[in-house]
Amino acid sequence: MIENLKEVTKETVANEILMLKNDGYRLVAMSCTELDEDNVDILYHLDKDLELVNLRMKAEKAKPVPSVSGIYFCAMLAENEMRDQFALGFDGLVLDFNRTLFLDEEITVTQVPLCSNVKITKQ
């Protein structure tokens, strides 16, 4: 069980992150896990004075989620990694590597490494 966990939505995540930043929290990590064929959980981990606050957002793989890289620039690395590994889209991503931060082109056009049963077909 994750302590200090708050559920957020695509509509509320940016505002929640901004309020925590304004309160002195720093973004320490973001993580993602596949829930099922269509959904993932994105977790935002923030710290202030050695107290972690965790935000959880359930997201559909097929729909872009709001980027928080405009609030915490460093989030663009985690968001690009999620693009690589889960083929997620992010609205407002300040620097988009288009699934090539860690992956070679031959992988990005054919597969999604951390998603079960997902293959990209060439168009």
* Cβ-contact 9, 57 below 8 angstroms: yes
CATH number of 5-108: 3.30.460.80
- pLDDT one-digit tens code per residue, 30-82: 999 999 989 999 999 999 999 999 999 999 999 999 999 999 999 999 999 99
Contact by Cβ (8 Å): 47, 28: yes
Give the C-alpha separation, 73 to 61, whole Å: 23
116 or 61, higher pLDDT: 61
Instruction: From residue 112, give the alpha-carbon distance in Å to each of 63, 103, 105.
Output: 16, 10, 12
Q: Per the confidence metrics, is the pTM higher than 0.95?
A: no
Q: Where are the domains of the chain?
A: 5-108
Asked if 59 contacts 5 with a C-beta cutoff of 8 angstroms, the reply is no
